[in-house]
Amino acid sequence: MWRVFVFFIFGVMSCEENLDNTNLLEGAMSLMNPVDFKENIFDQTDNDCSSYNGEYEAEVKDEGEGLSKTSQVKISFDETTCTIEANSIPNHNFNDQGSHFAHEAQAVIHVKTIKRNPEKASEVTPLSLEYDNGVYLNGVKLDLLAAACKGVGDEKVGCFDPSIPWRFDPMSEENNFGTDSHHAHVQPDGSYHYHASPSKIYNTSVEAPVIGFAADGFPIRGPYIKGEDGVLRLVKSSFKLKEGKRQPLEGEYENPGGTYTGQFRDDYEYVEDHGDLDECNGMDYNGTYSYFTTQSFPWVLACFKGTPDASFSKKSKANEGGETGSQGAKRVNSGGRKPPKRGGSGSQGSRGIGSDQKSP
């Protein structure tokens, strides 16, 4: 419910999320008086991240491994920003339904900075493999894109150039990412992350509750809005499947052929006014711009309307000798040709391993 607020002060850590980040810490966070928020349903609609200030903790289970884990989150604020510090463990049980995570979930602390009064930029910023897309109020990050493209290496990892087309969409049923029922899995460093908004954390009877914040500071909301009749309905994306057979795209390694099915992010196109939302999967709502969870592509957001904060960067310093997953830090191609430096559709996702690992 997030109605109990515990006020506190703590130092802001300089942290860039992911296994490639030397500022990530493993282990327990120091919480003074945390509120138990196991399986908490977020139902507030306040735009300001300061409304969610507090310390939170939950004992949950990694069902696939049969292990107990502790979720920890701190949210604080000052005049201009909020800081979310979390250990990457969700506040609900996870790794269920035979998801077969490639790596065990670990407590990996990350710190994100959220602007309290974000502003739209003059131009949208495409999604990339160099930034996490957002963070939910339960402290788990949103990472929509994975690092695999048709014809690149073993098609599991290595496709870090955002201009390469035919990226696999982790949410497609045609792809096997080993995700659990919450659309999530684990990166090589143990960080649990979502590929879409899990229904476990939002209230389906509340109009557009805030469930997290994007990297540019704008709220991420649940999928229900009120229609003209005043009845709650699912918000509709303005992206749709293309029609006909897949056409050649500049920079492709291999054309997958066949018809557009949704297996690849390039199978979709934005059609203005096709739905409720704009090209970034958001709209002005409740006094501010907001992104919305949708039941179809692009699932949460398709681009940034504002400017992503540097705390969401995945810039790498560690892991210099190995695979980084879909982080764009060490751009290693796992076989095949070197990715071409050509233009293309920049906000594409993929069927990735590493950060977003496709199961064998």
Q: Classify residue 151 as exposed, middle or buried by CB count within 10 Å of its CB (0-12, 13-18, 19+).
A: middle
Please give the Cα distance from 360 to 314 (Å, whole number).
Answer: 25
Percent of the chain with pLDDT over 90: 73
Tell me what the pLDDT averaged over the chain comes to: 84
pLDDT for 343 beyond 50: no
What distances in angstroms separate CA 232 from CA 111, 208, 299, one per listed residue? 35, 10, 19
Q: How many domains does the chain have?
A: 1
What's phi and psi for 125, nearest 5 deg?
A: -110, 125
On whether the CB atoms of residues 300 and 196 are closer than 8 A, the answer is yes
* Residue 5, pLDDT score: 36
Question: Is 249 domain-assigned?
Answer: yes
Distance CA 113, CA 227 (A): 34
Is residue 118 reached through a cis peptide bond, with omega within 30 degrees of 0 on the bond before it?
A: no
Boundaries of domain holding 204: 34-116+126-311
Place of tokens 């004992």: 59
Does residue 28 fall inside a structural domain? Answer: no
pLDDT of 28 = 77
Q: Is residue 4 part of a domain?
A: no
Give Cα 249 to chain centroid, integer Å: 26
169 within domain boundaries: yes
**Is 227 contained in some domain?**
yes
Distance CA 50, CA 55 (A): 13
Residue 356: band (very low, low, confident or very high) from pLDDT cuts 50, 70, 90 = low
Is the residue at 21 inside a domain? no
Residue 103: inside a domain, yes or no?
yes
pLDDT digit string (tens) for 74-113? Answer: 999 999 999 999 999 999 999 998 888 989 999 999 999 9
Round to whole Å and give the CA distance between 152 and 256: 12
Specify the residue for token string 């969409």.
Answer: 169
Residue 206 lies in a domain: yes
